[in-house]
Chain A
Amino acid sequence: MGLFDRLKASLGKVRETFTAKIDNVLRRRKIDEELYEELEDTLILADVGVPATEELLERLRARVKTERVEEAEDLRRLLQEEILRLLGEPVPLLLPPSPPAVILLVGVNGTGKTTTAGKLAYFFRQQGKKVLLAAADTFRAAAIDQLEIWAEKSGSLFVRQKEGSDPAAVVFDALQAAKARGVDVVIADTAGRLHTKSHLMAELGKIVRVAAREVEGAPHEVLLVLDATTGQNALSQARLFKEVTGVTGIVLTKLDGTAKGGVVIAIRKELGLPVKFIGTGEKIEDLAPFNPAEFVKAIFD
């Protein structure tokens, strides 16, 4: 199965619910106020949020007028195009010309950082890269053991310290080891933290500073791991994590459920942060680079 088909298959539920709703709205009728209202409901239900939804609808209305669109069915194409416009172009990973590349995973509790670290390690291993996983979540009980299992599964090197030790020290160790052993990619898993806890956010700031001191330009990617079931609070998460750690992109996880993760549209619109990967299952290969065009196509077609 190709990448696109796999994406389509794993987005099955999203397609079923979201696309079926859009179909229902568009079938059988002319373009009227009621139709716009139902489209609005559908977008809100996908967690797109009020401001982004309003912008999408305004653009739709304007284009319907200027392009003299009469068939409701044609709205589907317009909507696809407008969502795509908000999602923007795909943004590639920012990896340095000379290794090691340093990737930091951050996010609130329970979004899937540790699992994503494992999948990401596997992703780079598949490209023949030498990968090191750093267990910088020293807070959650057994998080280190969990990551170690992923390191074994993906065939990555693993750096850890005791539970409760300073996460910045773990990252320091990991970077030393990476330099000594010629590692291509270092992936650091950090403890989940609510973005409103200033002392925990300061701890992340320290990790970033330590990384920057040890490897030029590091961390090259700071990925915010976001649970697709999250609602509008995701905006606040993205804003605060970006402030403290300079987030470069988003990993949208748990897209194999019924949640649409529409809030990433609002995040791209308001903060300019692109989605870089999506998680579509619990298996180690269930992580794919995000391509807006393919994603929109997979949802609508």
Chain B
Amino acid sequence: MFFGLTDKLQEVFKKLRNKGKLTEEDVNAALREIRLALLEADVNYKVVKDFVARIKERAVGQEVIQSLSPAHQVVKIVRDELINLMGGQNARLNLAPKPPTVVMLVGLQGSGKTTTAAKLALSLKKQGRRPLLVAADVYRPAAVKQLQVLGDQIQVPVWSQTGDPVEIAASAVREANHKGYDVVIIDTAGRLHINEELMRELEEIKARVKPHEVLLVVDAMTGQDAVTVAETFHQRLGLDGVVLTKLDGDTRGGAALSIRAVTGCPIKFVGVGEKLDMLEPFHPDRMADRILGMGDVLTLIEKAQSTIDAEQAAAMQKRLLSDDFNLEDFLEHLRQFRKMGPLDHILSLLPGFGGMKKLREELQFDEKELIWAEAIINSMTPEERRHPEIIDGSRKRRIARGSGTTVQDVNRLLKQFEQTKRLIRQFMGSKHLKKKRFPNLKF
């Protein structure tokens, strides 16, 4: 995610880095690139204007011109401002002191409300809460059924009735009070922000059930209109936060920047996959790091910690950092990665990956290829796994036969292994990573 913007800004700063000092023209050149990159990333043009003006004010000033490494200074300023723009600290879900907490999801058609409702319910359930899902979308054909199917999958009850959405919401809250559910998640119908009648319906639901959280669900691929939509929903309903969905694609997600800047509403969660456990808290600082190509090591580590036990993680980390990373480690790696989720998502979290577009493309393997890779490595002798350089033509033929693959497949796997090794060396060599990130790690 945010790959494009990352690549662009890195290009800009590479140009800056090659010079000793920054002139005002250098800064202007960088700002032009930043402006273009942000516009191409669908950041609202007014937000871009303000952003660029703020950067310029700080960048052309004394601190940059006189600082020893002006390029780093600009990177820092841009990063600070990006974090600033996206809202500083991580915002959480407000839970009511006296249950049930009522959460209401609103948004345009197709933004992902129903899926988000189920994801949110699952995440709360994992935290030991007792959520109740409410199907208040009585308009879209089969919307209620969709929520019921998802509710079944995560074993969370779904409240549904025919009739008026306001009544459905109110009766759901009564049901929660009665049966002791502590979070009520209302999935409302998608609607256009300019549909007066349906917007009024949302106001009525809000007035009736007094939700603690009204969350706007927004597609991360939304263009310039994101701001109009968010502003209108905010004016009518008083939003408490935003959920950004479909961030697992290649969208640069400029909507994340704009919505916060324009409405002041924090982004609380991001959807990063179709599976129901793929909802993550939004961290502005990490997102800014991603934009700037610093990767998102913290999210990766949290993910690793929740899926792999600490001991295994420590061992894995150690091997990752050791020089003699071999095919056995590679296999172990592939297995761990598979546990954590889709590879492209995991890889997108790695530092430096944003700038390595070509490598990223080369490394695109899908889940099926992973199974093959495992079969191929399993067909090697321990000696071959530890010293891949001894694998010659005849060994390759044997390995291919043993794993039911072809010599080309074996070659491809060996190439991928070499690339991974190279990748690891590359970010091992990054001073930023070694000094600033790893001392804080608790494994």
The answer to whether A199 and B368 touch (CB under 8 A), given A110-B111, A229-B108, is: yes
Name the segment of B9-17, B92-100, B224-232, B391-399 touching the other chain.
B224-232
Q: Looking at the complex, which of A23-31, A43-51, A80-88, A93-101 is the stretch in contact with chain B?
A: A43-51
- CB–CB B108/A231 < 8 A: no
Whether A45 touches B142, Cβ cut-off 8 Å, given contacts A198-B366, A199-B366, A229-B222, is no
Docked-complex contact A258 and B223, CB < 8 angstroms: no
Could you tell me if A263 and B39 are in contact, using CB atoms closer than 8 angstroms?
Answer: no
Interface residues of B in 1-50 (CB under 8 A from A): 36, 39-42, 44-45
Binding stretch for chain A, among B124-132, B245-253, B297-305, B308-316: B245-253
How does the 8 Å CB contact mask read for A235-269 relative to B, with 1 for contact and 0 for none?
01100000000000000001011111001000000
> Would you call B307 an interface residue if the criterion is a C-beta within 8 Å of the partner chain's C-beta atoms?
no
- Tell me whether B351 is interfacial, beta carbon within 8 Å: no
Chain B residues near A146: list those with CB within 8 A. Answer: 140-143, 146
Cβ–Cβ contact B39 & A254, under 8 A: no
In the bound complex, do residue A149 and residue B223 qualify as a contact, i.e. CB atoms below 8 Å apart? Answer: no
* Known A194-B249, A195-B249, A236-B250: A257·B42 in contact at CB below 8 Å: no
Produce 1/0 per residue, A96-115, CB < 8 A to B: 00000000000011111000
Residues facing B in A46-63 (CB within 8 A) are: 46-47, 49-50
Q: Which of B95-130 contact A (CB under 8 A)?
A: 108-112
Contact A231 B222 (CB under 8 A): yes
A257 and B193 contacting across the interface, CB-CB below 8 Å: yes
Closest Cβ neighbor of A240 among chain B residues: B250
Q: Evaluate contact between A199 and B367: CB separation under 8 angstroms.
A: yes
A108 partner, pick from B39, B42, B193, B249, beta carbons under 8 A: B249
Judge if A294 is at the interface, Cβ distance under 8 Å: no
Work out how many contacts link A and B, with CB atoms closer than 8 A: 143
- Distance, CA A44 to CA B224, complexed state (A): 8
Q: From A13, A49, A233, give the contact of B252 (CB < 8 A).
A: A233
CA distance A146 to B144 in the complex (A): 10
Which one, B45, B222, B252, contacts A45 given CB within 8 A? B45
Is A50 touching B39 in the complex (CB atoms < 8 A)?
A: yes
Choice from B109, B221, B368 contacting A254 with Cβ under 8 Å = B109
Q: For the complex, what is the distance from the CA of A230 to the CA of B140, rounded to whole Å?
A: 21
A142 B142 Cβ-Cβ under 8 A: yes
For B1, the closest partner residue in chain A by CB is: A196
Q: Does A19 contact B (CB under 8 A)?
A: no
Give B243-266 interface residues, CB cut-off 8 Å to A.
246, 248-252, 254-255
Inter-subunit contact A258/B228 (CB<8 Å): yes
Docked CA distance A47–B219 (Å): 15
Bound: A258/B194 CA distance, A: 8
The verdict on A110 contacting B225 (CB below 8 Å), with A140-B146, A232-B42, A236-B250 known, is: no
A74 within 8 A of partner (CB): no
Check if B192 is an interface residue, CB within 8 A of chain A: yes
Give A145 to B368 CA distance when docked, in angstroms: 30
A259 cross-chain contacts in B, Cβ below 8 A:
223-225, 228
Q: State whether B224 touches A149 (Cβ < 8 A).
A: no
Measured CB to CB, the closest approach of chain A to B225, in angstroms, equals 4
B364 at the interface (CB under 8 A from A): yes
B111, B143, B251 interface centre (most CB from chain A within 10 Å): B251
Q: Known contacts A194-B246, A236-B250, A254-B108: does B142 contact A229 (CB below 8 Å)? A: no
Q: Does B149 contact A (CB under 8 A)?
A: yes
Q: Which of A45, A141, A198, A258 gathers most chain B CB within 10 Å?
A: A141
C-alpha gap A47/B295 in the complex (Å): 28
Q: Check B112–A46 contact: CB distance below 8 A.
A: no
Contact of A256 with B192 in the complex, beta carbons under 8 Å: yes
Which residue of chain A is the closest to B367 with respect to CB atoms?
A: A199
Contacts A47-B224, A145-B141, A196-B249 known; A257 to B112 CB distance under 8 Å? no
Main secondary structure of the interface of A (DSSP, over half): loop
Q: Are A142 and B250 in contact (CB under 8 A)?
A: no
Task: Tell me the chain B residues, 383-431 only, with Cβ under 8 Å from chain A.
Answer: none
B-side contacts of A142, CB under 8 Å: 142-143, 145-146, 148-149
B141–A141 touching, CB < 8 Å: no
Complex Cα–Cα for A149 and B251 (A)? 33
Q: Are A112 and B109 in contact (CB under 8 A)?
A: yes
Give a binary string over B142-162; 1 marks a CB under 8 Å from any A CB, 0 the rest. Answer: 110111111001000000000
**B contact residues around A122 at 8 Å (CB):** none
Q: Which residue of B lies closest to A54 (CB)?
A: B36
Rounded to whole angstroms, the CA-CA distance of A227 and B89 in the bound complex is 32
Contact check, A109 vs B112: say whether CB atoms are below 8 A apart: yes
Known A45-B45, A47-B223, A194-B248; contact A110-B145, beta-carbon cutoff 8 A: no
Q: How far is B245's CA from A109's CA once the two chains are assembled, in angstroms?
A: 10
- In the bound complex, what is the Cα–Cα distance between A195 and B344 (angstroms)? 13
Between B40, B112, B150, B364, the greatest number of chain A beta carbons within 10 A of the residue's beta carbon is seen for: B40
Decide if A150 is an interface residue (CB 8 Å cutoff): yes
A44 touches B39 (CB 8 A): yes
Q: Given A194-B248, A232-B40: A45 and B224 within 8 A (CB)?
A: yes
Smallest CB gap from A146: residue in B = B142
- A231 near B221 with CB under 8 A, answer yes
Q: A50-B39, A142-B149, A230-B223 are in contact. Are A149 and B249 (CB under 8 A)?
A: no
- Which chain A residues in 113-155 approach chain B with CB under 8 Å? 139-143, 145-146, 149-150
Instruction: Report whether B367 and A229 are in contact in the complex, using a CB–CB cutoff of 8 Å.
Output: no
A134 nearest CB across to chain B (Å)? 17
> Can you list 22 pairs linking A and B with CB atoms under 8 Å apart?
A41-B45, A45-B224, A49-B40, A50-B40, A139-B274, A141-B149, A145-B145, A146-B141, A196-B248, A196-B249, A199-B367, A202-B366, A229-B226, A231-B224, A231-B255, A232-B42, A232-B252, A233-B249, A254-B192, A257-B229, A259-B224, A282-B109
- Lowest 10 CB-CB distances: which A-B pairs, in order? A231-B223, A110-B110, A231-B42, A141-B149, A146-B142, A142-B146, A259-B225, A142-B145, A149-B141, A47-B223
**Residues of B bordering A, CB below 8 Å:** 36, 39-42, 44-45, 108-112, 139-143, 145-150, 153, 192-194, 219, 221-226, 228-229, 246, 248-252, 254-255, 274, 342, 344, 364, 366-368
A: which residues have CB within 8 A of B?
13, 41, 44-47, 49-50, 108-112, 139-143, 145-146, 149-150, 163, 194-199, 202, 227, 229-234, 236-237, 254, 256-260, 263, 282
